[in-house]
Structure 1
Amino acid sequence: MDRLSAMALLVKVTELGSMSAAARALNMPLTTVSRHIGELESALGVRLLARTTRKLTLTDAGVDYVAAARRILEEVENAERQATANIRSQKASW
């Protein structure tokens, strides 16, 4: 999974409060969600989520990372909207 997709997955996990809820929402096996989050943590060399049998919480590093990921994902969405608007504008002028 590419880094941007992994960021989006982590944000979804935190928004929904669990990996299983994110897996259901994304129609993805729970093991796949868990693996991708683990791979992201390994790539970064830091734990982003504190896991217990009852609760999933962000670590301090996770709080910072998710905040940054949300900003990045928002910027990507803005860039895509702008590109789409530019394409529509160009087609209209042809």
Structure 2
Amino acid sequence: MEPEDYEMILKAFMQSDIKDWETRKQQLDKILSPELEVIVMLGNNLGAEYFNKPEFAQKLIVPTASVRKMEIMDLQTDANNKVRFIRIQQK
């Protein structure tokens, strides 16, 4: 899969309801690298938040209104074709 494919998958997670969270958790585990690094650039130049795999997965499993407003700016994969870096802009 290409980085654009992962962006579409993650965007779907961000926008969806929390039906069958157990399945969502398993799906995320398959595509996110254990070394995942996520940087969320906060609106109004308030700084940034950093998340690891468990923290970010939890945000996507039960998406909040703020998660639904996030836009993926950059996504990189590792040699195993798992997502290892995501930069997000919070609107």
* TM-score, normalising length: structure 2: 0.34
